[in-house]
Amino acid sequence: MPIKPINMKKLGEHTSNTYEAVVVAARRARQINDENRLEFNTLLSTMIPTIEDEFEERGNPDQERISLEFEKREKSHLRALHELIEGKLKFRYRDKDEIFNQ
């Protein structure tokens, strides 16, 4: 798998500094990961489980197909970084009042 470098100047165009960009991208990556996990579990819950023989271990081919599909998707951290670089990711700071009222 080739390594694709990220231009740090482009990353800093949409944020005030690199550290802010990393925090914003990390939070978005967690959101993407949670969305993917929810979608994956929803798809698995709709499947009919196969009857397993006690001497023979066979995987469910539909479950394996879905697992492979999710493995081929772009990783959540890379997707978040690309969203930030392309300007698709909007973020804001919480107000101090919001933080203290929680």
Which is more confident, 11 or 74? 74
Q: Give the pLDDT of residue 31.
A: 96
Residue 100 clears pLDDT 80, i.e. is over it:
no
Distance CA 78, CA 60 (A): 30
Q: Give the pLDDT of residue 98.
A: 53
User: CB 77: neighbour CB atoms within 10 A?
Assistant: 15
pLDDT tens for each residue of 38-90:
999 999 888 776 666 555 566 778 888 898 999 999 999 999 999 999 989 88
pTM of the model: 0.75
Q: Give the pLDDT of residue 101.
A: 41
Contacts of 10 by beta carbon, 8 Å cutoff, 6+ apart:
85
